[in-house]
Every structure is written in structure tokens, then in C-alpha cells.
Chains A and B, each alone.
Chain A
Amino acid sequence: MTQVRVLAGTRKGAFVLTSDGKREKWSIAGPHFGGWEIYHLKGSPANPDRLYASQNTGWFGQLIQRSDDGGASWQPTGNDFSYVGDPGTHLWYDGTQRPWEFKRIWHLEPSASDPDTVYAGAEDAALFKSVDGGVTWSELTGLRLHSSAPGWQPGAGGLCVHTIILQEPRMFVAISAAGTFRSDDGGVTWQPVNRGLHSQGIPDEDAEVGHCVHHVEAHPSRPDTLFMQKHWDVMRSDDGGLSWTEVSGNLPTDFGFPIGVHPHEQETIYVVPITSDSLHYPPDGRLRVWRSRSGGYEWEELSAGLPERDCYVNVYRDAMAVDTLDQCGVYFGTTGGQVYASADAGDSWAPIVRDLPAVLSVEVQVLP
């Protein structure tokens, strides 16, 4: 029987939520790593029972946990995320240069073909790769040593690699607040791909580097098309990131963090509009997902089952996911600890769970 597994990383632990293919009744396991921040956990497409989790606190630093049984048990793997050589410096908020300093792993992206290969996006911005199931990590230095890197400045959340898209050997990463970068050689060399982005918060609004990209997604069967939720603006690219066009259309606000792409419909995308960069909650206290079936420009409000009033949560950049069932499921988690699910591509919603710690990330797996 088909099983659906939702992986929720929260401010105080990880939770594994499971259901059958109807996605109506859910069982909840956790917290795993109670008390630790779990920025992200994700399963291997090549072996869905192989999960990786990023575990961190300000007290005890960074750990990576691995499960080989779908999250029932975990073991710590390697946590040596050493920058290669002299780490150099990047721009700090006060205009001075500050040395690169490892803080945490924001995002883990397992390879589609090898369960032992996984990539990790770090703060301060760098990309690491493991080919032994997370035991050892090597930095792909081409990103951090890009000629523009000394000019990268942290976003409010830090100077972090928060998005990794694998189209091996092509890869994309997104960095707050540097922008989107593309590699065509497995992460050895990188080029910024931000043409068409405009950001009012930087001195040169259409600079090649310096944009606060919040999240990027690609449709698996059309890899040249990318969708981006930027600090402000929803964007799309149809040429592998070489140029971008704004598709915010009739959204009530185009500020937000996550963006999702329907697994079967290449032009169907989802965002969660947030009031503004200074008001990180939904407009008018009404939590809404907006869906476009035309790849942007035209958006429809999805409200059935979502809070109608007095809702002032946020939805973080990695806290939305879609499953691959024929009737696509869409999931997102909030800073209020709710995980909402739709089993009908967004037409209607219900909370799977209401009172978790603040949700940092949501991923979903469909198990045969």
C-alpha cells in the first residue's frame, strides 16, 4: 500500500508524519533530537529509507544525523565542515570585511542516484559534498571562491546556501543575499544567474550579484524552467537561470519565502504571500496559499480549510513540499507549529498537526 511520509524539521526537533495514500489520517513520531534546531531533513530518492538531518544548537554546534530505516532510528555521522585553505572574507553589515566562519547547515540535498552522495548548503555560504553517507565532507570550493564572493553580504538570516537543485552534472544554488548561481560541471565552477532580477534594497537594483533570493524550484521534467520566490517578486526563468521574468501578477503581495512546483503540471506553482519584509505574517491575518496554473502572472487564492482570521504565522523557505501522487499533495509548515496538507493539489487544506515547535522545513516522500 502506498505510504506518504512527511519530514518536518522544527526549532526543537524533527518529526516524521506518516499516512496512507489518502492522506487523511496521520501518525506522528518524534521529536527526534528534542531541543535541537533541525533546519532540514530529507530522504534519498535512490533509497527512501535513507534520511539525512541537519541538527544544530548555539551551544553544541552542528551535527548531521543519518537514518537507514525511514527515521525510526538515527546515528550521528560526520560534522567536520572545514573550509579549504584560507577561508577569506565577505562583506559584513557595517561595510567591513569579515572572515568566513562556519555556523550551520541549512539544506541537505541527497543525490537522485546514489544514497551515499549528499550535498550540504552552509552558513557562511559554502557547498559541501559527501560520497560516503555523510561520514566525511569535502568543500566544493569553486562557489565560495567565486570572484564575487568578497562582496556577498548576509541576509537577515545569515549568509547561507539555502537552496540546492541537482540536475547532475548541472547544479543550482541560492544564497541569501548573493543570489542564484549555476554550475555545469558538478560544482567545480560557478556563474551567477540573476539577470532580470531587480531588488530595491541594494544600491544597483539589477546588479549581477547581491539579490536576496528566498527559494528556487525546478520542475523535474523541464529542468530549464526555474521558479523563484525572491525577497520581493516571484520570478521565472526558461533558460536555466540565464534570464528571469517577474510573474507576480495578481498576487496580493509578492513577498514570501517558499515556492512549490506541481510534480505533473509544469506550469502549476504555489506560493504563500507574506505581508512585507517588515511584517512576516499573512495579509490581514488570513493564511492563504496562492496557486498559478499558468506558470505565474495569473494566480488564484486557495483558502478552503486555512485560517480565516487572527493568523500571524510565517512560512519559511524550506517549509513547503509537494508529493508525487497522481492527485498531487501539497504541504507546508508554519512558525506557529502547524503542518497543513492538501490531498487535492491545493483545493482544500487541513492541518496534520497543530502544535509543533516552529517549523523550519517540510519534505515529503511517497513510498511504494
Chain B
Amino acid sequence: MTSQGTEVRVVLPAHLRNLAGVRGEVLVSVPPGALTQRAVVDAIEARFPPLCGTIRDRQTGRRRAFIRFYCCEQDLSNEPPDAPLPASVASAIAAGTEPFLVVGAMAGG
């Protein structure tokens, strides 16, 4: 749990950086509370509204099939979106030493 919110470093895939109009890493503000996948993606969408629907399905709210979430060399994609991130990951994110990676899956194209 965080009481003051967390500034999270996020790395977006190239197409989503273009859509958001940014280069390189971005910082998003996750409000106080448990640091979860959903909280991070909510913060991304709040800062960059054009990304709504591109990471999570608009209708179901689920991670899109070819999107992956990585951090600290761990694949977090299949973890429950409301589960607190593993302690080591959360602390690295909170300390700003590791970014939260949104990755377009390797699937040809």
C-alpha cells in the first residue's frame, strides 16, 4: 500500500508511443493504494486517453491478447489485474529503479 501515490516509469510499445505523442519512457501517477496491474494501466489511460482500448479490451476490460506486462524480468501478464504486484516488483517500481513494460507480443506482422 502507498499513502501518497507512486510515480511509475512506463515503457510503451512504439505504436502506443506514437498514439500518445510521446518519446521514450513516460511517468504516470498511480494514486494511493495497492500497486496493481489495473492501477498502473488506469493511470496510463488517465494520462493518455487515446490509449483507452488499446491495452485492455473496451468491452471486457481484459488485457488484449497480444499485450504483455513485464517488470524486473518477470512476466506479470497472467497475474490477476487486482492482485498487488509482487513485493520485489512493487518496491523496484516505487523506487523508480525499474520501469513497468507494456509490450506488444511477438506474433508476426
Contact = CB atoms under 8 A, between A and B. Distances in A.
A26 interface: no
Interface in B56-85: 57-59, 64-67
A150 B21 CA distance: 42
A60 B104 contact: yes
A63 B54 contact: yes
Nearest to A100: B59
Given A58-B66, A59-B64, A82 B15 contact: no
B24 interface: no
A79 interface: yes
Interface string A338-359: 0000000000000000000000
Nearest to B50: A76
A79 B58 contact: yes
Interface in B4-50: 13, 15-16, 19, 50
B53 A79 contact: yes
B15 A63 contact: no
Interface string A70-85: 0000001001111100
A57 interface: yes
B95 interface: no
Contacts of B13: 59
A61 B58 CA distance: 9
B107 A79 contact: no
A79 B15 contact: no
Interface in A286-332: none
Contacts of B15: 35-36, 57, 59-60
Contacts of B64: 59-61
A62 interface: yes
Contacts of A101: 59
A92 interface: no
Given A35-B15, A76-B19, A58 B58 contact: no
A87 B79 CA distance: 28
A80 B49 CA distance: 12
Given A58-B66, A61-B64, A83 B59 contact: yes
A102 B65 CA distance: 14
B16 A61 contact: no
Interface residues of A, number: 17
A61 B59 contact: no
A161 B59 CA distance: 19
A102 B59 CA distance: 8
A199 B13 CA distance: 45
Nearest to A75: B50
Contacts of A63: 19, 50, 53-54
Contacts of A36: 15
A61 B57 contact: yes
A153 B52 CA distance: 30
Nearest to A37: B109
- Counting chain B CB atoms within 10 Å of each CB, the highest count among A57, A60, A62, A82 belongs to A60
Given A76-B19, A76-B50, A79-B52, A59 B58 contact: no
Contact of B53 (A35, A59, A62, A83): A62
A60 B54 contact: yes
B53 A58 contact: no
Contacts of A61: 53-54, 57-58, 64
A310 B52 CA distance: 45
Q: Which 8 A-B residue pairs are closest in the complex by CB-CB distance?
A: A60-B54, A76-B50, A59-B66, A59-B104, A79-B53, A61-B53, A80-B58, A61-B54
21 contacts: A35-B15, A36-B15, A58-B65, A59-B13, A59-B15, A59-B104, A59-B105, A59-B107, A60-B16, A60-B54, A61-B54, A61-B58, A63-B19, A63-B53, A76-B19, A79-B52, A79-B53, A80-B53, A82-B58, A83-B59, A102-B59
Interface of B: 13, 15-16, 19, 50, 52-55, 57-59, 64-67, 104-105, 107, 109
Given A59-B13, A60-B19, 5 more contacts: A57-B109, A58-B109, A59-B66, A61-B58, A80-B58
